[in-house]
Amino acid sequence: MRYVIVGLHAAGRSACAWLRRLRPDASIVGVDPEAMPPYARPLISYVLSGELEPGQLNVEGPDFWDRLGVRVVSERATALDPDKKILTLASGRQEPYDCLLVATGSSPRPAGVQGSAAKEIHYFRTRGHVERILAACRPGGSAAVLGGGLVGFKLTMGLLARGMRVHLLVTSPQPLALNVDERVGAWAAEQLAALPNLALQTCVTAQSMEPEPSGGYRLTLDTGESLTVDLVAAGKGVIPASGWLDGSGLACADGLAVDQRLLTAAPEVYAAGDTAICRDVALGAPRINAIWPLAVEQGRFAAWNMAGQDCPYPGGLAMNSIPLFGRHVVSVGAVNPRLTRGCVSEVAEDRQGRYLKLVFDGSSGRIVGALGLDAAPRLGELTWAVRRGLTRDDIPTHWRRAPLSAAPLAARTEWLAKAAGL
């Protein structure tokens, strides 16, 4: 059996490790121009802020792939022929496969800025990106960050830590609009507004970027204002890196649709991670949740299925854990106002400002999301609860009243019976 794994980051690495465990003798070929040495991309924000050294990005030694028995081809895949079962690489080289995994993840969403300098916008996804931003940073300089989502936030905090003055330009009415509710978003905006060296502007979009004769760039906004800055960086979300599959009959611009076994429409071609459109258990609909734990988990399920087992993937859901201004914001499932219309929420709050909100479906009472600000770190249980389809009545009153001291929800054996379908 010849397995080919395209993309060797979170999902691809996990799939390789499980395939090797399940099929000790199989031939496994990994294809990724960025495979060596293995690193973890979320750590680039810690390198930008100076909390980690660039060398600490690496999570495995350079002999990792050899030890795992994976032959790595450091190239980009450019085409797939599912009928002939052949993968074509940038050099023209061809890799035949019996079973293939697409784990090519995602790429930064283009910032949508016009102008002759727009190509100099820094994106923030790879080791190379953070190296380039660090080279362009200088204390006392100024930067514009486009996007108030998680990556925009991390860029902002990192650039501030490097001594830059930052203009954070957010299209939505509040930062982190997709990840938190109005209340926590407003708190984050308040905290940002109080930061020295930071100017937060909401409901604004950068339209064009031109070089300034004296150095730096002029950024024109849709409000008619303009800003002169030394560096422009964007964190406007991600798009699935599935464009290379155009022509294979598989790809769709929004990612790769998969069935319960993570199999795409082509035989023996599976997908996992940021490129795979899986069922979202909170929303009950297909959706990409581009986060690390799901990429690793899907890599494992894909490997199990690729190794011939029949392991239906239970589905993913959004999960975020954001250390913010000395506090901790956590969210699972549906919490943002757009996705929670018609839902009923219940809030527990104490005098220290700890806040835990549970969101239930308005008609079925099923828990669909939760959001915490410095709440007891119990969101893992709520993730479990969303996945198991627990309802409001399943969550005991004492758990809701005193989430710091309650035993785990999973301690209740009747739910184990429910989960097992007894």
Ligand X SMILES: Cc1cc2nc3c(=O)[nH]c(=O)nc-3n(C[C@H](O)[C@H](O)[C@H](O)COP(=O)(O)OP(=O)(O)OC[C@H]3O[C@@H](n4cnc5c(N)ncnc54)[C@H](O)[C@@H]3O)c2cc1C
Report in angstroms how near the CB of residue 379 gets to another protein at its nearest.
5
Residue 247 touches which of ligand X, another protein, none (Cβ within 5-8 Å per kind)? none
Task: Check residue 264 for interaction with ligand X (CB under 6 A).
Answer: no
Q: Which of 113, 166, 282, 295 binds ligand X (CB under 6 A)?
A: 295
Contact 319, 332 (CB under 8 A): yes
Region from 39-47, 53-61, 279-287, 398-406 binding ligand X, contact rule CB under 6 A: 39-47
Query: Which residues, listed in sequence order, are joined to residue 232 by a DSSP beta bridge?
Result: 144
Three-class SS state of 230: coil
Residues that bind another protein (CB under 8 A): 14, 40, 42-43, 46, 51-52, 56, 59-60, 292-293, 296-297, 300, 319-321, 323, 328, 330, 332, 376-381, 383-384, 396, 398, 402, 405-408, 410-413
Residue 140 CB neighbours (<10 A): 9
Q: Which of 45, 142, 156, 305 binds ligand X (CB under 6 A)?
A: 45
Residue 332 touches which of another protein, ligand X, none (Cβ within 5-8 Å per kind)? another protein
Task: Check residue 248 for interaction with ligand X (CB under 6 A).
Answer: no
Q: Which of 4, 5, 11, 164 binds ligand X (CB under 6 A)?
A: 11
**Buried/exposed 97-121: b ≥16 CB within 10 Å, e otherwise:** bebbbbbbbbbbbebebebebbeeb
Is beta strand 256-257 parallel, antiparallel or unpaired with respect to 276-280?
parallel
Task: Check residue 277 for interaction with ligand X (CB under 6 A).
Answer: no
- Nearest Cα to 148, choosing from 197, 205, 194, 105? 205
Query: HEC string of 110-157?
Result: CCCCECCCHHHCECCCCHHHHHHHHHHCCCCCEEEEECCCHHHHHHHH
Task: Check residue 251 for interaction with ligand X (CB under 6 A).
Answer: no
Question: Which residues 98-137 are close enough to bind ligand X by CB under 6 A?
Answer: 103-106, 124-125
Three-class SS state of 3: strand
Residue 410 touches which of another protein, ligand X, none (Cβ within 5-8 Å per kind)? another protein
Q: Which of 15, 38, 41, 82 binds ligand X (CB under 6 A)?
A: 41
Angle separating helix axes 150-161 and 127-136, nearest 10 degrees: 40
Which token pair is 191? 């905290």
The footprint of ligand X (CB under 6 A) covers 6-12, 31-34, 41-42, 44-45, 76-77, 103-106, 124-125, 151, 154, 241, 244, 273-274, 290-293, 295
